[in-house]
Amino acid sequence: MTSARMHTPNSSRFSLRHYIDKSMTRLLPRHCLFCLEKIHKSHEQNEKSEVCHYCSEQLIHNSRACQRCALPLKGSESHICGNCLSHKYYFEQVYSPFIYTNEIRYLIRQLKYHNKIHYAQTLAGLFIQQSKNLEDFRLPQQLIPMPMHTHRLRQRGYNQALELTRSLSRHFQIPMDYQSLIRYRSTGLQAGLNARERQKNVRNAFKITTTGRNSSLSKVQHIALVDDVMTTGSTLNEAARILKQAGIQRVDGWIMARA
């Protein structure tokens, strides 16, 4: 971020701090978590947003991106990136309004690793704000959070993708289904693996539950998978493959930030 107004607040793992934060935001006028200025309510601002209009405009937007996988494009590439031209992807379109850097990375890391669950609303709010600028933003019939393996879920206590989906589902009035698609094979961390290794690592990591097959999934054709970050797209692609196998015609990705 270029602005001198902005700073990165210290992280805190105290749950008491989290409780105080939550209570205070209800009682006091809200201040932007980056520039500390008071947040003025405006029609563009999500009611619970913790980022002021000025700072949300300063975030690094993924404005020139591949129309398929949302990879930020280089000068010479037009519309579709080289990966999408040479690979078969099961997802149709990824929408990812921010580049995974600076402030967005800070928000996502706080949400994932520092119990700042309410940042899911902030991130979803920023996503919603940006989606208004899109001309061809086709809404899906259902949202599915990227599933987390039960081992990881027990460690973390929550799935950040589910928390993001909750806010998006409420805003767009699109039902969410967090039970039909599950992650039944623990894949460990994808970080540090290259694209090919990541692909191999997530192979057969997901499955559709019997209830999913018989209930909500049989009634929809178009789904968006919601996640916080996308790096190579292997996880999204594998989840999309399983959903397509189950008869879903179109799978999109709604991702907060593109790495």
**Considering the rule CB under 5 A, would residue 30 count as an interface residue with Zn ion?**
no
Whole-angstrom distance, CA of residue 215 vs CA of residue 224:
17
**Considering the rule CB under 5 A, would residue 33 count as an interface residue with Zn ion?**
no
The per-residue b/e assignment along 220-249, b for 16 or more CB within 10 angstroms, e otherwise, is beebbbbbbbbbbbbbbbbbbbbbbebebe
* Residue from 54, 25, 23 nearest 37 by CA: 54
Stretch that binds Zn ion, among 13-21, 33-41, 162-170, 237-245 (CB under 5 A): 33-41
Nearer to Zn ion, 35 or 144 (CB): 35
Whole-angstrom distance, CA of residue 123 vs CA of residue 137:
18
Nearer to Zn ion, 20 or 85 (CB): 85
The site string for Zn ion over 194-233 (x = CB under 5 A, - otherwise) reads: ----------------------------------------
**Considering the rule CB under 5 A, would residue 236 count as an interface residue with Zn ion?**
no
**Considering the rule CB under 5 A, would residue 69 count as an interface residue with Zn ion?**
yes
Q: Are 54 and 5 in contact (CB under 8 A)?
A: yes
Indicate which single residue of 34, 100, 178, 254 sits in contact with Zn ion (rule: CB under 5 A). 34
Nearer to Zn ion, 207 or 258 (CB): 258
Task: In angstroms, give the least distance from the CB of 99 to Zn ion.
Answer: 14
Task: In angstroms, give the least distance from the CB of 153 to Zn ion.
Answer: 30
**Considering the rule CB under 5 A, would residue 73 count as an interface residue with Zn ion?**
no
Nearer to Zn ion, 81 or 223 (CB): 81
DSSP state of 166: H
**Considering the rule CB under 5 A, would residue 104 count as an interface residue with Zn ion?**
no
**Considering the rule CB under 5 A, would residue 84 count as an interface residue with Zn ion?**
yes
**Considering the rule CB under 5 A, would residue 66 count as an interface residue with Zn ion?**
yes
Task: In angstroms, give the least distance from the CB of 132 to Zn ion.
Answer: 19
Q: How many residues bind Zn ion (CB under 5 A)?
A: 11
Q: Are 31 and 54 in contact (CB under 8 A)?
A: no
Stretch that binds Zn ion, among 42-50, 79-87, 224-232, 244-252 (CB under 5 A): 79-87
Whole-angstrom distance, CA of residue 204 vs CA of residue 193:
17
Alpha helices in the chain (DSSP H): 15-27, 53-58, 82-86, 102-113, 119-131, 150-156, 160-172, 195-202, 210-214, 234-245
Burial class (CB in 10 A: 0-12, 13-18, 19+), 75: exposed
Stretch that binds Zn ion, among 19-27, 47-55, 164-172, 195-203 (CB under 5 A): 47-55
Q: Look-up: residue for tokens 């178009």?
A: 222
Give, rounded to a whole angstrom, the gap between the first and last alpha carbons of the chain. 16
**Considering the rule CB under 5 A, would residue 99 count as an interface residue with Zn ion?**
no
Chain residues binding Zn ion by CB under 5 A are 32, 34-35, 52, 55, 66, 68-69, 71, 81, 84
